[in-house]
Structure 1
């Protein structure tokens, strides 16, 4: 595993910036080790919902976790608003950094992550492969 530390700046889209950072490394398998910061706008899809909900105002990123694959991410975040109310869910595009986001990424250069349709769940789910292994790991 290789580790990269990132500091994102105001106005950057959190999810898109993380994906771009991983792809710029030529990596197709990564995960978030740690992530904190602040957002001015967020889009979270809550459990069982079809669409992401837009949230506005100053928010602290309390936790950030998930995987970044060659063809998509699966990221979860926990956010707190100015009153301390906490909400969490799937991190969608459109989460704009307010002052900073500090993220540690773990890059897995010998693995490949892809999201492929899973008939059991109805979603594109993570498939893990060793580089050069077409069958995938279970």
Structure 2
């Protein structure tokens, strides 16, 4: 991720022809065929990876969203603005309660 230690998505707009999303509570990646407008893209980027959630709407205005996965295809554009804090580092540490690697924010 271009050596980003602590970044977040500040703003995003655009469109997709295909969206690959892991839905809430799911384990499988679901492929949705567009076209879609990107409604929101939120999350964090660090040296240990990214954690992004995506919401998109179809031509009827119905919205779907979940965990962004590899394989999405941009239709016309995707303007994604990142904000990096050079004083911090985002790391992930296993949480004994959840069993997931959770975000820990540390000084750099």
User: Structure 1 length as normaliser, TM-score?
Assistant: 0.73
Structure 1 unaligned runs (5+)?
1-22, 132-138
- The residue that corresponds to 1:91 in the other structure is 68
Partners of 2:86 and 2:29 in 1: CA distance: 31
Per-residue CA deviation, residues 32-82 of structure 1 (Å, 9 max, x unaligned), is 011110011111111111122111121110111111121111111110012
Q: Is the strand fraction higher in 1 or 2? A: 2
Determine the structure 1 residue equivalent to 2:78. Answer: 101
Alignment length, in residue pairs? 108
Cα RMSD of the aligned pairs, angstroms, is 1.2
Q: Which structure carries more helix by proportion?
A: 1
Mapped partners of 1:126, 1:80: distance in 2 = 28
Return structure 1 stretches of 4+ with deviation > 4 angstroms.
none
Task: Say whether the 8 Å CA contact 1:39–1:97 is kept in structure 2.
Answer: yes
